[in-house]
C-alpha cells in the first residue's frame, strides 16, 4: 500500500471556514500518521470569485494552525504547479482528448434554454437536471449553432442505467443510480474548466490516493469516479501529461478512495454559517483562541477518539487519528466548549509564554510598539500572571490590562458614577499617604488597604473600588494590590490625585 498522498484544495473566494480547516486537519493528520504527503492545492479556476488576497489569507490561516504542507503554494513539489489557474492547458488537452474519443460532447443550449428546461421539469414533477437534448447532434446541427454564434460547453455522457458503488472510509458502501445523474459540464463556453474535470485530472496526476472532504460533496463522487475511469482508459491521461510537458503520475499511483466528513452544525443543528457567529479561522485568531486549542477542538468535531481526556497534543492526535473513527452524524460546533478549552490552556502557559502570545493583541490596539521597551516587557510579564485566571481568550486580556499601558486614564462613566461618590473622596485623600509609605509589593499594599478600610469603618470594597477606578478608569481589572505593585508608585499616586476631581458630592 503506498504512503498516503492527500490534498486540501479550497477555492480562494473568501476566508478559511472552520469546516474547511477541519477537512484540512483530518487530511493532514492522516498524512502525518502514515508518513505520507499533504498537498495544499488552490482551486482558483473560477476567475470571477477567486482573489489573491483570499489565497494569501488561507495560506496564512493554514500556517497559523500549524498545518504545514509538503507540496503547494510557496513549497516546491514534483507535481506542480499547485494553482489550478496555472494548469488550464492541461485541462484543455484532457477535455480535447475526451471529446475526440467521444466520451464528451458539445452542447449548445443557451442559459435561457436550460433555465426553461429546468422550469418545465419542475412543473411536470421530473428531476430538474439536464435532459441530454444535445447528446446526439448531427454535424449539420452543430454547424447551424456555430453559425448563430453559439459557443458550446463540453458535457460528459453518463451511463443511461445501472449503478455506481464505492466504499467510503467514513460512510461505508455507497450506491448511486446512474439514471439520477445527468450529463455534466467539464468545460464552460468560455473555455474554463469546472471542478469535476480540474480535480479529477489533478487528483490522478498528483497521485492523490485518499480524498477527505465534506459530505456536501458526496453527490459529486460518481461524476469524479466516471472521469477517473475515462481519463485512465487506454492511458489517455498519461499521454496528455507527456504531450503537454507535465510531470508523469507517481509510479505507485492508485485510484483515490473517499472519506466524506460530517458537516459542522450550530446549536440549531443547521450547517454552521455566519448566523451562528464566528466561522472563519482568522476570526477565532482575532478573538484570541490559541491555534493548538482550535486544532485539538476541531479534531474532536466528528471524531471518536480513543483517549481518557479530550486534551491532546498534535503528536497525540497524529498517533491516534484514523478515518474509521470519524462519525457519520453531523458534528456540533460547541463554541462554549472551545472557549473553555482555550481558558484551560491559557492557565497552563508559563508567564513568559503567555506574555509573548498576548503582545500582538496589545500591539494591534496600539498599546505597545512592535518592539516593547524594557518597562513594557516587565509590565506585560507581570500582568500575564494576573490575567491567567480571568480570561478565556487572549483578546479578553486587552481591556483588563490596557489602562496600565496608557499615558492618561480613560474614564468609564458608569464606574465613575457608581464608585467615585459618597465617601470616595475621603478614601482617595487617605489612600495617597498610605501608598506613599508602604513597601511596594502586592502583599504589603493589600494589607495597607485593608487596614485603611478598617480604620475608616468601611468595607474593603469601598476602599478598593475607588482606588481601582482612580488608577484604571474602570471598575473591572486585574487584582488591585498586585497590579499596583507592577506600576510605578509615582504614577499610581498621580492618578489617585487626579481622580479626586471626579468625585461626586
Nearest by Cα to 31 from 71, 73, 82? 71
Neighbour-count burial of 475, counting CB atoms closer than 10 A to its CB (0-12 exposed, 13-18 middle, 19+ buried): middle
Strands (E), 121-255: 153-156, 163-168, 172-177, 184-187, 210-214
Neighbour-count burial of 301, counting CB atoms closer than 10 A to its CB (0-12 exposed, 13-18 middle, 19+ buried): buried
- 302-310: list long-range contacts, CB under 8 Å, 24+ apart: 302/22, 302/261, 302/262, 302/264, 302/326, 302/327, 302/329, 302/330, 302/331, 303/26, 303/327, 310/341
CA distance 397 to 367: 12
CA distance 262 to 176: 19
CA distance 228 to 201: 8
> Helix crossing, 221-232 with 236-243: angle to 10°?
70
Annotated active-site residue 414? The verdict is no
Q: Which residue of the set 179, 270, 274, 347 is catalytic?
A: 274
Name the grid cell of 155: 458535457
Q: Going by DSSP bridges, is the β-strand pair 264-265/331-332 parallel, antiparallel, or unpaired? A: parallel
Q: How many residues does the chain have?
A: 505
Contacts of 270 (CB under 8 A, 6+ apart): none
CA distance 479 to 484: 9
SS3 label, residue 5: strand
Contact 184, 158 (CB under 8 A): yes
Contact 201, 94 (CB under 8 A): yes
Contacts of 170 (CB under 8 A, 6+ apart): 259, 260, 261, 262, 323, 326, 327, 328
Nearest by Cα to 155 from 190, 129, 178, 182? 182
Strands (E), 249-355: 257-261, 264-265, 331-332
Name the grid cell of 238: 498519461
DSSP 415-438: HHHHHSSTTHHHHHHHHHHHHHHS
Strands (E), 300-408: 331-332
DSSP 70-81: SBBTTB--TT--
CA distance 36 to 212: 15
Active site residues: 274
Amino acid at each position: 500500500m503506498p504512503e498516503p498522498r492527500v490534498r486540501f484544495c479550497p477555492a480562494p473566494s473568501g476566508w478559511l471556514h472552520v469546516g474547511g480547516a477541519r477537512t484540512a486537519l483530518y487530511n493532514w493528520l492522516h498524512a502525518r500518521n502514515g508518513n505520507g504527503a499533504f498537498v495544499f492545492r488552490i482551486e482558483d479556476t473560477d476567475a470571477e470569485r477567486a482573489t489573491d488576497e483570499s489565497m494569501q489569507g488561507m495560506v496564512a490561516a493554514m500556517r497559523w494552525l500549524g498545518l504545514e504542507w509538503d507540496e503547494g503554494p510557496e513549497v516546491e513539489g514534483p507535481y506542480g504547479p499547485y494553482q489550478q489557474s496555472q494548469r488550464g492547458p492541461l485541462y484543455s488537452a484532457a477535455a480535447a482528448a475526451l471529446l475526440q474519443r467521444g466520451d464528451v460532447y458539445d452542447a449548445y443550449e443557451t442559459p435561457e434554454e436550460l433555465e426553461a428546461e429546468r422550469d418545465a421539469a419542475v412543473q411536470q414533477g421530473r428531476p430538474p437536471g439536464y435532459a441530454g437534448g444535445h447528446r446526439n447532434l448531427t454535424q449539420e446541427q452543430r454547424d447551424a449553432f456555430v453559425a448563430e454564434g453559439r459557443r458550446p460547453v463540453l458535457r460528459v455522457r453518463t451511463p443511461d442505467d445501472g449503478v455506481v458503488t464505492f466504499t467510503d472510509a467514513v460512510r461505508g458502501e455507497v450506491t448511486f443510480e446512474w439514471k439520477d445523474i445527468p450529463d455534466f459540464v467539464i468545460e464552460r463556453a468560455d473555455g474554463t474548466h469546472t471542478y469535476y474535470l480540474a480535480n479529477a485530472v489533478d487528483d490522478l496526476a498528483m497521485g492523490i490516493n485518499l480524498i477527505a472532504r465534506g459530505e456536501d460533496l458526496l453527490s459529486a463522487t460518481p461524476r469524479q469516479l466516471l472521469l477517473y475511469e475515462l481519463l485512465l482508459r487506454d492511458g489517455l491521461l498519461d499521454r496528455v501529461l507527456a504531450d503537454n510537458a507535465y510531470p508523469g503520475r507517481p509510479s505507485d499511483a492508485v485510484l483515490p478512495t473517499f472519506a466524506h466528513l460530517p458537516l459542522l452544525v450550530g446549536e440549531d443543528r443547521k450547517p454552521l454559517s455566519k448566523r451562528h457567529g464566528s466561522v472563519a479561522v482568522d476570526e477565532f485568531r482575532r478573538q484570541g483562541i490559541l491555534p493548538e486549542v482550535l486544532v485539538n477542538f476541531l479534531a474532536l468535531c466528528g471524531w471518536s477518539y480513543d483517549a481518557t481526556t479530550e486534551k491532546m497534543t498534535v503528536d497525540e492526535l497524529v498517533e491516534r487519528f484514523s478515518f474509521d473513527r470519524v462519525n457519520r452524524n453531523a458534528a456540533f460546533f460547541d463554541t462554549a466548549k472551545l472557549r473553555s478549552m482555550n481558558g484551560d490552556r491559557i492557565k497552563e502557559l508559563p508567564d513568559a509564554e503567555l506574555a509573548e502570545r498576548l503582545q500582538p493583541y496589545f500591539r494591534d490596539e496600539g498599546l505597545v510598539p512592535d518592539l516593547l521597551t524594557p518597562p513594557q516587557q516587565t509590565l506585560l510579564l507581570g500582568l500575564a500572571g494576573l490575567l491567567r485566571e480571568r480570561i478565556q481568550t487572549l483578546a479578553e486580556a486587552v481591556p483588563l490590562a490596557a489602562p496600565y499601558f496608557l499615558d492618561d486614564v480613560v474614564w468609564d462613566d458608569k464606574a465613575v458614577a457608581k464608585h467615585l461618590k459618597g465617601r470616595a473622596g475621603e478614601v482617595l485623600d487617605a489612600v495617597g499617604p498610605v501608598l506613599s509609605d508602604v513597601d511596594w509589593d502586592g502583599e504589603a499594599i493589600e494589607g495597607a488597604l485593608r487596614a485603611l478600610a478598617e480604620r475608616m469603618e468601611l468595607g474593603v470594597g469601598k476602599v478598593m473600588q475607588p482606588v481601582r477606578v482612580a488608577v484604571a478608569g474602570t471598575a473591572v481589572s486585574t487584582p488591585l494590590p498586585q497590579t499596583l505593585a507592577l506600576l510605578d508608585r509615582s504614577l499610581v499616586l498621580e492618578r489617585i490625585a487626579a481622580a479626586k476631581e471626579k468625585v461626586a458630592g
